[in-house]
Structure 1
Amino acid sequence: MKQVTFTLSAALLGCAAIWQATDGGRAVTAEGARRVQIAENPVHVPPVSLETMDGSLQMWPAQGQPILLEFIYTTCPTICQTSGGDFAELRDHLTDKGLDVPMYSVSFDPVTDALPELQSYGEAHGASGQPWTIARPETDAVAGLLDLFRVTVIPDRWGGYQHNIAVLVINPNGEFAGAYDTRAFADIRSAVEAML
């Protein structure tokens, strides 16, 4: 009987841990749980100055319209290049549906990613500045932005970074309100349409 009680207790504890880790069974992964929490608890985005790839400064986010963004570093040889291609496809998908949504690829390595690097990344991925631009914040704003948008950046041993990637949504009220897989075009379009 003790063995049965122990087994049932262990099973209940395991189920409770799974329930907690999957945000009540609504997400299969920790990233999925993060995305559910973001959607349910929008967070105000304070104004930030960004230097765009054309050298202009923009105060961001501009309220009154949804904004899509991703965090990158331009010298990334792998995931950022893939997500840049995905962002270009997303831009085309939204434009084909008549949605002109501001899109930003924001560098979290603004010291390395100077204006020539931003321009080169933009040219490589077909970002013309409208609706999609490549930008960098001031160095002292990076940590706060990464924390706000729940982006994890870990330096690797080769001068690069390991980091998570997603299409992040700022709603027209200037709140961080969504995170999506980079290829979830239909879901992102639905979210944008619901905000217009």
Structure 2
Amino acid sequence: MWGVLWDLDGVLIDSARWHLASWQWLAQQYGRTFPIELFKETFGLPNAAILRRLFSDRDLTDEDIRGLSEQKEAMYRTLVRAHLTWQPGAVELLEDLRRHGARQGLFTSTPRSNVVFIDEVLGLSRYLEVILTGDDVPRGKPAPDGYAALCQRLGLTPDRAVVIEDAPAGVEAAHAAGLRCIAVATTHPPERLTAADWVVRDLTDLSARQIQAWLGL
């Protein structure tokens, strides 16, 4: 038994620009700015971590974070609804992996409400046996909690699984869970992803047989 553990935003779906727009909208509501540099630094982190950066001059409570996060994600869903698409090669690789017997699951920092919405539009659950979000684990990326829990739920050992990520925090989370990581340079340039075990341009550069051979299976 072997498997692939997926990230969502920037890996399976093309969503970065709409996350940026919704963060910038939220910042504007409170008289702040959300520069592209901050987005690049924080994309892939849990909302709580990003909000503490954006509101670094305030001592945000858990209730504050929940409320601000809900505002941001509601705007994200509004913006992305008409534009939600798979990343190039995503469906083809998901289907190829399934044909080759790979168990597949997903861990994302995005709230479950977003995942439910995306599943309704694109049908994520057709391919993924287990979907975990930042709402399901004590700590988000770069902590190992999500990918470790996903391995356990899928019945996989770290030596027979690989994570596919697009952000440094995700690569760190994979390694912290004892997993190898393939990074796709869809959100960050390759030089930001050198900690990954294998860096590719996008999912069209991968196949199930290549991944199996690379894992030594």
More strand by percentage: 1
More helix by percentage: 2
TM-score clears 0.5: no
The TM-score, its normalising length taken from structure 2, stands at: 0.36
The TM-score, its normalising length taken from structure 1, stands at: 0.39
